[in-house]
Amino acid sequence: MRLQDKVVIVTGAARGIGQAFALGLAKEGAKVVAADMLEVTDTMDKVKAEGGTIIGINVDVSHAGSTRDMASETMKEFGNIDVIVNNAAIWGGLKFKPMDLISEEEWDAVFAVNVKGVWQCCKAVVPYMKEQGKGSIINISSASIFQGIPLLGHYVASKGAIWAYTRSLSREIGEFGIRVNSISPGYTMTQASKNLSDDQEQLDYIYNLNIDQRIIKRAMYSEDLIGALLFLASDDSAFITGQNINVDGGSYHY
C-alpha cells in the first residue's frame, strides 16, 4: 500500500470530492482525518466499512483557533501529520450570478473559506511538518481558473489565489522538506455542481460544454482525482513541489 500508516488530513471530507479522497486514501493504508464543519459520519461509515482507519474532526477552516485544534487533535490521536489536503471550500451553495448580483458578504465569505482557510490550515500543520522534516500539502484549486468561467467571479478568483499561493508557499517552506502542490479538477459531477443553477437547461449546457472541451469526452467524477491525489501524497512525487496538476480530461494544456 502506497500510504501505509501515513496520517492525512482531508478538509471538506463530509461529502463530494473530499469524501472520495478520504476513501481513496484509506484504501492505500492512510490514517485519515476527515475534517469538516458538517457531520462526517457518512464518510467515516464508508471508510470503516472498507476496513480503513479514520477519525472525524469538526473544523471551520476560516478560523485560526479551529484549524489549530484540528492539528493538535490529529497529533494527539496519531502522533504526526504527513499530508494535508486542503479541499474545503465554498462551492456547494453557490449559484451562477452576474458580478453586480454578488453581494459583498458573499464575496468575502468565499475568500474567507477558499483562500484564508487554506492559509489557516497550512499555518496550523506546518510547525508539526517542520519538526518532522517532511510533509506534503495538496491544495485543491480548479480548472475554472484556466477556463475563466463567467458568473462565478468570486469563486474563480479565489481558486486562482490558491494556485498562486501554492507556488509562493512551496518556495517558502521547501527547505524544511515540505512539498506544496495543487490539483485543479475540471467540472466534477458532485451534488454541489448539480446545484449551481435552478435552470436545468443551463446545467445541461454547462455539462455538455465541459465534455466538448475535453480530449477525453466524458463526464468527470470525484474518483477521477484519486490517482493524482495519491501521487502527490506519496513519495512517488518526492522531487515535485510548487506544481499544479490539471485533472480535467485534457481541457487545458497549462
Report, as residue numbers or ranges, the catalytic residues. 155
Could you say which residues in the range 15-34 bind ligand NAD, by CB under 6 A? 15-18
The Cα 233–Cα 25 span in angstroms is 9
- Is there binding between residue 138 and ligand NAD (CB under 6 A)? no
For residue 123 the three cell numbers come to 499555518
- Is there binding between residue 140 and ligand NAD (CB under 6 A)? yes
3-state helix/strand/coil string of 175-201: HHCEEEEEEEECCECCHHHHCCCCCHH
Nearest residue (CB) to ligand NAD, 134 versus 211? 211
Among left, alpha and beta (phi > 0; psi -120 to 50; other), residue 88 is: beta
Compute the least distance from the CB of residue 64 to ligand NAD, in Å: 12
- Is there binding between residue 92 and ligand NAD (CB under 6 A)? yes
Could you say which residues in the range 157-216 bind ligand NAD, by CB under 6 A? 185, 187-188, 190, 192-193
Beta bridge partners of 196: none
- Is there binding between residue 146 and ligand NAD (CB under 6 A)? no
For residue 43 the three cell numbers come to 464518510
Nearest residue (CB) to ligand NAD, 37 versus 240? 37
Q: Give me the residues that bind ligand NAD (CB under 6 A), please.
A: 11-12, 14-18, 36-38, 59-62, 87-92, 113, 117, 140, 142, 185, 187-188, 190, 192-193
